[in-house]
Amino acid sequence: MSAAASYARRATLLAGFVFLYAPIVILTVMSFNASRLVSVWGGFSTKWYVALLDNEQLLHSAKISLAAALVSATIATLLGLLAAVALARFGGFRTRLLFFGAVHAPLVLPEVVLGLALLTCFVALGVGRGFVTLVIGHVTLTMCFTTVALLAALRDCDPTLEEAAMDLGATPPEAFLRVALPQIAPAIVTAFLLAFTLSLDDLVIASFATGPGATTLPMRIYSQVRLGVSPQINAISTLLLALVAVALGLAAAVSYWRAGRNFRGMKTLARSPDKAS
Amino acid sequence: MNAPLLSINNVSKKFGAVVALENVSLHVGAGEFFALLGPSGCGKTTLMRCIAGFEAPDAGAIALNGVDLSGVPPFRRPVNMMFQSYALFPHLDVFENIAFGLRRQGEAKDAIDTRVEELLAMTQLSNLGRRRIDELSGGQKQRVALARALAPRPKMLLLDEPLGALDRKLREETQFQLKEIQRLTQTSFVIVTHDQDEALALADRIAVMRAGRVEQVAGPMEIYDRPATRFVAGFVGETNFIEGRLVRNSGAALIAEFGRIPCEPGDLPEGAQATLSVRPERIGVEREGEGIAGFVENFVFRGETTLLRVRVAENVVLRAAAGHGERYAIGDSVRLSFPPGAGTLLAEER
Amino acid sequence: MSRRRRLSLGQRLVIAAPYLWIAAFFLAPMLLVAKISVSQSVLARPPYRPIFQFSDSLAELWAKAQDFTLDSYRALVNDTLYVESYLSSLTIAAIATLITLIVAYPFALAMARAPERLRPILIGLAVAPFWTSFLIRVYAWIALLKDEGLINNALMALGLISAPLQMYATPGAVVVGIVYSYLPFMLLPIYAALERQDASLREAAADLGASPAQVFLRVTLPLSREGVIAGSLLVFIPAVGEFVIPDLLGGSETLMIGRTLWNDFFSNHDWPAASAAAIALVALLMVPLLLWERARLKEEGAR
């Protein structure tokens, strides 16, 4: 590659990453700004974080959001796994098209429409809205994402491995549990994390599906943000960003470690050539 | 052959409009090394998957030791398969891969350990038991797959293109190993291959398949020397097809465009249109003398022999293998001779 | 043929849970919305007149079916607020999609041409913000775009402008928000299409006398078409129905259909109108998807 092209490539990458990260970095820096004003640097301070600890409403909402994310991500991962197994392994059963369409539809449906549909349904059934309806809403929203992620993983997973297991005496469920499941374990973790972050982040579905007792963190943030930039919101945003950064860092470290192990394996192989050859 | 271990009777299978198997009948004896040979799409893999239980025949029956296998799922069949891709479990090490079938049978831990060690030794993998699958070479993977399929002591082992993924040099070495292991274990091996050399080298008997049908079942030598159909003659080894009319009096011969070739008439009637299949190495090549005249149009040196393309008539070119030592050039005149019984006479295809 | 077969008992058990969930919490609510959209609006809670009840007999059902009204749909067409919301949503989404494409393509190209061992790290870094809160990422732009925000401050400090530019609370801010939030959706498919390309194709084109620009226009770009189309749909479709971005970054006059729907539902309590708008929106978004699917099928048929 020519020097000019290489230079242009680096400049593009730099510009792209600045665009992606600058707003986040600025937000983080602002959370340590002693001044209330965005444009004035009033010195380093952690007072907004301290103030968070006294904001019981916000802490309560954070707990609700975390609980809803945990429960709904668990249910969505389980349902997504079952749906993915049905779509990947059961062949062309009747009503497959309906099932496939219905599972994937929330992916392209505007969240406002899904939220509206859920709310009308809860109202029509006379169900009181609260934590349970919030979880139902989030499972319905995130299940399509977990299904897609797990379906892709199952399709990548060689079906002859399961055939080999059955050939060696494993029943079909046994073959799935002992052979396919370990293969897609990383995808299951990814699907769970995806559902978890989507639920933790969701504002629209939650606004429709939840009730007065179960206001989520994004709903609190939203109602404050509408009033303008607030240092406390900067602080809680930074905390949420840090949480995700740590999680992503761990995931990267694990995959790096696994790749390293494979690399070592390859080196062992290079040192001891096949004796038969 | 005493009572066959595996009998396949009139098995047919369609995928949509595509006929994969049509009225296939075969018998494989206990301890036999049997090969299903044919080009891709001939139905050999489908037949193997029917035996393993991954596909169900539309018609016909497959029986093992006289017991009908229809409706028996793969995990209850005493037949194991070595997959073309090996299908080794990447999350288990070598030992656990081999132990997989034994654990499903619920064998005692000691028995499993002993059996796995025995197989590791047999396949020369003894110190690799704790290796991960992605740390193995292609040849090692192939041996793990073989050991895993043999571990539960199947009545019959199915091998789907077992040498397909290996390079040329390793392949010959592995052919001998496979034969040796088959002899040691006294297990029936059924191998699926598109490689005629592999089938000829390994099998006691070969079934040549084409478009869902069995064309011929015979030992390797008979398949090579006495092909039953034009397809078998063309698929297994190199050959010349010479078209002509049969005369039976004064020593049977085929009257071809370019001359008279002596042959064994079989039960074909006088005057029948027939095709003679003659292997290049069965044709004698001399500079002069008796025989059919032609000139060398092209040649390829093959080490042991030199393959000549000899034009004997306006539109007929025969391939003949000349022995080592003689040098030929393009345009050389040669004489081709056909010893009695050099070829096989085939009736016109239906 | 094994194409359409009955499932075994075990398989039915596997499929039952997701199927029931989808039926109860997605299909049924969507049908309910469709039903409400043809009901008459009343001031009650729930603010619509029920059309069917579980106790209805067939005759009653028929009588009630006479009550079906397309009023809400008629109102939709006549109501300038809705018509303008739809048009403005489509315009903003289309402009934002185009800009996202212009931003994402060189970025994806630079990543796809980076040294191979760097690529996973680069793509990981590019996608990482997607895992953080969407709401927070949109919120971060408020501090940048406001009249007294960082961009205006910086520009004024440099002496480029004398008075703050009005950026916050404009359609332009909504476009920026969409570009920023949906960039990974455009980046990934284009990157995947570019990374797959065989480098020898470009070398072959150059060998045959194509200049670098011609190589790009005649080889690289046409071969990445599928990535561009997929990325554009992934940005355009959710952008049309977006609520958070226009609500936080747009002004009160920045109309987008998601926001209008939300307001109708929460503030005006006109459920039949909102339901009709929702059904119309779904129908609208199906159009590009169906076109895409048809083109894909055609291409497959041609092959």
What is the full per-residue pLDDT of chain A (277 aa) written as tens digits?
567 878 889 999 999 999 999 999 988 988 898 888 777 788 888 888 988 888 888 889 999 999 999 999 999 999 999 999 998 888 777 778 888 888 888 887 888 899 989 988 898 888 888 999 999 999 999 999 999 999 999 988 888 999 999 999 999 889 999 999 999 998 898 899 889 989 998 999 999 999 888 999 999 999 888 877 778 888 988 988 888 888 888 877 877 777 665 555 545 544 444 433 3
Chain C positions in Cβ-Cβ contact with residue A177 (cut-off 8 Å):
none
> Could you identify the residue written with the tokens 């003679």?
B276
Chain C, window 133-192: residues with a beta carbon less than 8 angstroms from a chain A beta carbon: 133-137, 139-144, 146, 148-150, 153, 180, 183
Instruction: Using CB atoms, pick whichever of A166, A175, A276 lies closest to residue B170.
Output: A276
Q: Are residues A107 and A72 in the same domain?
A: yes
pLDDT in tens, B244-260: 888 887 778 888 888 88
CATH number of the domain where residue B282 is located: 2.40.50.140
A111–C241 CB contact, under 8 Å:
yes
B205-210 and B33-37 strand pairing: parallel
Instruction: Using CB atoms, pick whichever of A24, A83, A226 lies closest to residue C140.
Output: A24
CATH number of the domain where residue B86 is located: 3.40.50.300
Residue A20 in contact with residue C183, Cβ under 8 Å? yes
**What b-and-e string marks burial along C154-171, b requiring 16 or more CB atoms within 10 Å of the CB?**
eeeeeeeeeebbebbbbb
Q: Are residues A78 and A50 in the same domain?
A: no
**CA–CA dist A207, A111 (Å, integer):** 11
Element (H or E) spanning C16, and its range? helix C9-22
Q: Are residues B172 and B190 in the same domain?
A: yes
Chains with 3 or more CB pairs under 8 A to chain C: A
**CA–CA dist B127, A211 (Å, integer):** 64
Chain A positions in Cβ-Cβ contact with residue B177 (cut-off 8 Å):
276
Residue-level pLDDT at B144 = 95
Q: Are residues A30 and A60 in the same domain?
A: no
Number of domains chain A is built from: 2
Q: Are residues A34 and A114 in the same domain?
A: no
Question: Which residues fall within 8 angstroms of residue B280, CB to CB, at 6 or more apart?
Answer: B238, B239, B240, B307, B318, B319, B320, B321
Give the 3-state DSSP-derived string for C152-165, with helices as H, strands as E and coil as C.
HHHHHHCCCCCCCC
Q: Are residues B300 and B316 in the same domain?
A: yes
Q: Are residues B249 and B294 in the same domain?
A: yes
Chain B positions in Cβ-Cβ contact with residue A161 (cut-off 8 Å):
87, 89
Q: Are residues B250 and B148 in the same domain?
A: no
Chain A contact for C213, CB < 8 A? no
Residue-level pLDDT at B172 = 87
Q: Are residues B276 and B212 in the same domain?
A: no
How many Cα atoms are found within 13 Å in the side-chain-facing hemisphere of B208? Answer: 24
Chain C positions in Cβ-Cβ contact with residue A37 (cut-off 8 Å):
148
Q: By C-alpha distance, which of B7, B1, B51 is closest to B27?
A: B7
Residue-level pLDDT at C63 = 58
Q: Locate A48 and state its tokens.
A: 């907004």
Instruction: Using CB atoms, pick whichever of A27, A111, A124 lies closest to residue C32.
Output: A124
**What b-and-e string marks burial along A111-121, b requiring 16 or more CB atoms within 10 Å of the CB?**
bbbbbbbbbbb
Q: For B127, which DSSP code?
A: G
Dihedral-angle region of residue C141 (phi above 0 means left; psi in -120 to 50 means alpha; beta otherwise): alpha
Q: Are residues A11 and A126 in the same domain?
A: no
Number of domains chain B is built from: 2
Distance from CA of C245 to the nearest CA of A (A): 11
Domain hosting residue B324, numbered range = 239-347
Give the 3-state DSSP-derived string for chain A, with helices as H, strands as E and coil as C.
CCHHHHHHHHHHHHHHHHHHHHHHHHHHHHCCECCCCCCCCCCECCHHHHHHHHCHHHHHHHHHHHHHHHHHHHHHHHHHHHHHHHHHHCCCECCHHHHHHHHHHHHHCCHHHHHHHHHHHHHHHCCCCCHHHHHHHHHHHHHHHHHHHHHHHHHHCCHHHHHHHHHCCCCHHHHHHHHHHHHHHHHHHHHHHHHHHHHHHCCHHHHHHCCCCCCCHHHHHHHHHCCCCCHHHHHHHHHHHHHHHHHHHHHHHHHHHHHHHHHHHHHHHHHCCCCCC
Please list the pLDDT of chain C residue by residue as tens digits (303 residues). 344 567 788 888 889 999 999 999 999 999 888 888 887 665 445 556 555 454 455 555 555 555 667 777 777 777 788 888 899 999 999 999 999 999 999 999 999 999 888 888 898 888 888 888 888 889 889 888 888 888 888 888 888 888 888 888 899 999 999 999 999 999 999 999 999 888 888 889 888 888 888 999 999 999 999 899 999 998 998 899 899 999 999 888 888 988 888 888 777 777 788 888 888 888 888 887 778 777 777 776 655
- What ipTM was predicted for this assembly? 0.84
Chain A contact for C291, CB < 8 A? no
**CA–CA dist C109, A11 (Å, integer):** 12
Chain A contact for B175, CB < 8 A? no
Query: Pick from B183, B211, B234: which residue ends a domain?
Result: B234
**CA–CA dist A189, A195 (Å, integer):** 10
Domain hosting residue A168, numbered range = 55-230
Residue in A closest to C199 by C-alpha: A1
The CATH class of C28-36+68-302 is mainly alpha
Residue A150 in contact with residue A191, Cβ under 8 Å? yes
Distance from CA of A272 to the nearest CA of C (A): 26
Q: Is residue A150 part of a domain?
A: yes
Chain A positions in Cβ-Cβ contact with residue C131 (cut-off 8 Å):
193, 197, 244, 247-248
Residue in C closest to A96 by C-alpha: C4
Residue-level pLDDT at A260 = 61
CATH number of the domain where residue A101 is located: 1.10.3720.10
Q: For B269, which DSSP code?
A: P
Chain B positions in Cβ-Cβ contact with residue A164 (cut-off 8 Å):
81, 83, 87-89, 148
**CA–CA dist C90, C100 (Å, integer):** 15
Q: Are residues A38 and A66 in the same domain?
A: no
Residue B221 in contact with residue B51, Cβ under 8 Å? no
Instruction: Using CB atoms, pick whichever of C2, C50, C110 lies closest to residue A13.
Output: C110
Domain boundaries, chain C: 28-36+68-302
B74–A167 CB contact, under 8 Å:
yes
Query: Pick from B205, B234, B263: which residue ends a domain?
Result: B234
Q: Are residues A95 and A31 in the same domain?
A: no
Query: Pick from B200, B215, B234: which residue ends a domain?
Result: B234
Positions in chain B short of pLDDT 50: 1, 350
Q: Are residues B194 and B125 in the same domain?
A: yes
Q: Are residues A110 and A168 in the same domain?
A: yes
Q: Are residues A28 and A64 in the same domain?
A: no
H-type alpha helices, chain B: 44-52, 94-104, 109-122, 138-150, 168-185, 196-202, 220-225, 230-235
A12–C109 CB contact, under 8 Å:
yes
Q: Locate A27 and state its tokens.
A: 């937000």
Alpha-carbon Rg for chain A, nearest whole angstrom, is 24
Q: Locate A228 and state its tokens.
A: 């303008």
**CA–CA dist A232, C3 (Å, integer):** 58
Chain A positions in Cβ-Cβ contact with residue B89 (cut-off 8 Å):
161, 164-165, 179, 182
Residue-level pLDDT at C186 = 94
**CA–CA dist B197, B208 (Å, integer):** 13
Q: Are residues B266 and B230 in the same domain?
A: no
Q: Is residue B1 part of a domain?
A: no
Instruction: Using CB atoms, pick whichever of A17, A111, A229 lies closest to residue C143.
Output: A229
B139–A163 CB contact, under 8 Å:
no
